[in-house]
Every structure is written in structure tokens, then in C-alpha cells.
Amino acid sequence: MIDVKRGGWKSFPLGGVIPEGGTSVAYLTGEWRGGGKRPLLNLKACVHCLHCWISCPDSAILINGGKMVGFDYEHCKGCGMCAQECPPMVKAITMVAESQFGATL
């Protein structure tokens, strides 16, 4: 993976090409939540319909054995789409201010 913040021009592939696949995993978009909100799951209420999983633009909904188990906070940008799409009768996801959690991802 190229270090775009510290690498020099000699280390960059020409034309800004990213010469390998799957590199978005290494790009921690979780930082983008900044002072915004993060989603929290009420696992007891969740009916595992996976509406949140299909709506999340960052593939940040963690699934295990076909069931919703939580969030990948290193990549969750805090957009709130999962909370919005969780069915109205369920509402298992709430968006909570980052200030509640200190400086951790």
C-alpha cells in the first residue's frame, strides 16, 4: 500500500493509478465521523432483516452467520442511513453523539 501522506514522487504509480484491488479496506473512513454521531445497536430489538446491511454505503454493517452483529467503526462514516432504514416497528439502531465516547474510533 502506497503511503500517500508521506511517500515521495518516486514511490507513486504514474497517473495516480492504484495498482491493486481492495485498498479501500486500508482507508479508515471512520475518521470522517469526527464530532458527528455513531450508530449503536440494540441487539435485543433487532430482527435481522439486514435492511441496514444493504443500505450502508461503506459495508460497515458486520454480519455473522446471516445475522446483524454490530458495526465496523473503522469504516462507518456515521451517515445514519442504517438507523433510517431499520424498520419503523423495530428501530434497533440509534445514532449517538461521538462526544459520549471520547476520542476512540
Q: Report which of 86, 5, 7 is spatially closest to residue 39, judged by C-alpha positions.
A: 86
**Binding to ligand SF4 by residue 63, rule CB under 6 A?**
no
Q: Can you say how many angstroms the Cα of residue 42 is from the centroid of all Cα atoms in its chain?
A: 17
Among other proteins, ligand SF4, none, the one that 23 touches (CB under a kind-dependent 5 to 8 A) is other proteins
Whether residue 68 contacts residue 55, with contact meaning beta carbons closer than 8 Å, is answered with no
Residues numbered 10 to 39 that lie near ligand SF4 (CB under 6 A) are 39
- Gap between the Cα atoms of 53 and 77, Å rounded: 14
Window contacting ligand SF4 (CB under 6 A); options: 2-10, 12-20, 46-54, 97-105: 46-54
Question: In angstroms, what is the minimal distance from the CB of 13 to other proteins?
Answer: 8
What is residue 98's three-state secondary structure? Answer: helix
Q: Please report, as ranges, the residues that interact with ligand SF4 according to CB under 6 A.
A: 39, 41, 46-52, 55-56, 58, 60-61, 68, 71, 76-82, 86, 90, 92-93
